[in-house]
Amino acid sequence: MTRITLPSRRLTALFSAALLLSLLLGGCAELPSLAGRTHSVTLLDTADTKLAQAIMPLAAQHPGVSGIYALSDGRDAFAARALLAAAAQRTLDVEYYIWHKDITGTLLFDALRQAAERGVRVRLLLDDNNTAELDDTLALLSKQPNLEIRLFNPFALRSPRALGFLTDFSRLNRRMHNKSFTADNQATIVGGRNVGDEYFGAAGDVLFADLDVLVIGSVVGAVSQDFDRYWNSPSAYPATLLIKPPSRGDAGDIALEADRIDDTKAAEEYVQAMRTSPFVQQLIERQLPFEWAPTRLVSDDPAKVLDKARPGSGVAANLKNLLGVPSKELDLVSPYFVPGKSGTQAFAELAKEGVNVRILTNALEATDVAAVHAGYAKWRKPLLEAGVTLYESRRSWDEGDAREKTGRFGSSASSLHAKTFAVDDRRIFVGSFNFDPRSIDLNTEMGLVIDSPALAGKLGQAMRGSIPQRAYQVLLQPDGTLYWIARDAHGGITRYDTEPGTSVWKRMGVAILSVLPIDWLL
């Protein structure tokens, strides 16, 4: 008989005290009133700005459509943001889920500060879930005239943040996952990247293989209006209402920190690599080869984080309507792929009807969230039985210098983070939406549906060509067990009968997580 050991009285007392303290702190911490918050909207009088003068002649040649340039390289993605911030003359509207205080994060903070110092109106909207280490920096930035920061769905109790979940879990578990960077209502960047070294190819260890698009033309106005919707929503709180003002210093301290980072070897090498990028020269010289196509914004209602959004109004429903039902091809890239029973059934039905369904997600060795892999792993067998092709992105592969050969979805020692899918090589989505319950039901998401056979076809070509050499393909044996194969550039194949690149302990942990009823949290 197994003996059950009850907690000691001392442990019970400590637990009770901690719970009581959390309830007291959580109960005392309330969000401030928004009575004095100002209402602001997109500035439309930007036709005389440098960006407008460069973009409007191009847009006039392509009325009603938008110019799209894919930013698959992390350094190009950082450069695009930095150059837009430097070029802006009237307004910068910026929203992100994560913003790290590292090389690229600090440099972009300073780029926003410099823009505000020039007289540009800067509105920065950050989801509050990942700002625990930023309060001091945000307090300094808030002292810069023309620069306002709002925190979306914030924690009333600033520290320790975790205690807030005990008393307000249903609200705080819902987050703003949106990502956009818009300058002068003329150009915007939308996609999967947050702000941080790992997203921009500056990290020393693991890089996120990601995808953004730089966009000009008709859809930019819709992105600006959507930003207004979030900025003025009941969930967007001025940072100054939540963060204590700095005891000393001002926004100039951000410039000093950026100067200090600029002098480091890592930053010098990164900035030099960015400056020599062909993309930078093409952008400066107005030579970027934009793909012009009908483009529509899909975005959740910010009321979703309060569980008050109108049913059927979200990104998931709109994507189905705008992308249409695949008749031949469906290519889906999602780093956090948790299809659930209904999603698995939908993919299976498509495959059984003759649609080539190809899905790329992270392998266990490459994922940064093992619990999400557990939520996905249980559905591999029924997907494979229905004829779905499954690829799992490897952490690394032998392809020479990864810095020189970064592909659309990968680099050496990388974790997949791009979120994109294409239907029938005709239409493609690029944005923040993961195919998981969290994106569908809990977080707000946004992205662009682009009617472009050229862009959609590139994803299809990658899934049929380069991806099989950069990912494991998951296959099913006659007895129902899984195995993985890795292909190399020379046609060689290596077989694995367990999750490649993982320990038995990690596999056991995932197996335990996979039987827990936590899919709705993933």
Which backbone phi and psi does 440 adopt, to 5 degrees? Answer: -75, -45
Q: What is the pLDDT of residue 412?
A: 43
For the chain, percent of residues with pLDDT exceeding 90: 68
Contacts of 427 (CB under 8 A, 6+ apart): 322, 323, 324, 449, 450, 451, 452, 456
Q: Determine the pLDDT at residue 28.
A: 52
pLDDT tens digits for 96-133? 999 999 999 999 999 999 999 999 999 999 999 999 89
Q: What confidence score (pLDDT) does residue 403 get?
A: 38
Mean pLDDT of the region 290-299: 97
Adjacent-strand bridge partners of 215: 68, 188
Q: Specify whether 268 is located in the same domain as 361.
A: no
CA dihedral 516, 413, 458, 327 (to 10 degrees): -20
Would you call 177 a catalytic residue per the annotation?
yes
Q: HEC profile for 325-382?
A: CCCCEEEEECCCCCCHHHHHHHHHHHHHCCCEEEEEEECCCCCCCHHHHHHHHCCHHH
Domain stops at, among 264, 284, 304: 284
Whole-number average pLDDT of the chain? 88
Q: How confident is the model at residue 413 (pLDDT cuts 50, 70, 90)?
A: low
CA 257 to centroid of chain Cα atoms:
26
Residue 14 placed within a domain: no
Which of 100, 179, 378, 458 is catalytic? The answer is: 179
Least confident of 94-108, 128-142, 254-268: 254-268
Distance CA 487, CA 351 (A): 24
Domain encompassing residue 487: 296-521
How many structural domains comprise the chain? 2
CATH of residue 79's domain is 3.30.870.10
| pLDDT of amino acid 13 | 43
In a domain, 122, yes or no: yes
CB 293 within 8 A of CB 455: yes
> Which one of 284, 319, 338 terminates a domain?
284
Q: Which of 93, 212, 424, 436 is catalytic?
A: 424
Dihedral over Cα of 50, 53, 59, 61: its sign: negative
Q: Is the pLDDT of residue 10 over 60?
A: no
424 in active site: yes
Cα separation, 55 vs 187, whole angstroms: 8
Phi, psi for 89 (deg, rounded to 5): -120, -20
- Residues paired with 293 in a beta bridge: 66
Domain-located, residue 319 = yes
List CB contacts of 3: < 8 A, sequence separation 6 or more. Answer: none
Q: How confident is the model at residue 460 (pLDDT cuts 50, 70, 90)?
A: very high
Residues 100, 177, 378, 458: which is the catalytic one? 177
Q: Taking 50 as the threshold, does the pLDDT of residue 408 lie above it?
A: no
Q: Residue 63: how many CB atoms within 10 A of its CB?
A: 8
Query: Is 179 noted as a catalytic residue in this protein?
Result: yes
- Residue 272 reports pLDDT greater than 60: yes
pLDDT, residue 204, reads 61
Predicted local confidence at residue 270, as pLDDT: 86
Q: What is the pTM of this model?
A: 0.91
Model pLDDT for residues 170-218, shown as the tens digit of each residue = 999 999 999 999 999 999 999 999 999 999 988 765 578 899 999 999 9
Q: Check 73, 417, 436, 458 and give the catalytic one.
A: 417
Residue of higher predicted confidence among 256 and 518? 256
Helical axes 50-60 vs 74-87, angle rounded to 10° = 110
pLDDT of residue 402: 39
Say if residue 275 is in the same domain as residue 320.
no
Known active-site residue 184:
yes
| Shared domain check, 416 and 370 | yes
Structure tokens, 360: 């790329």
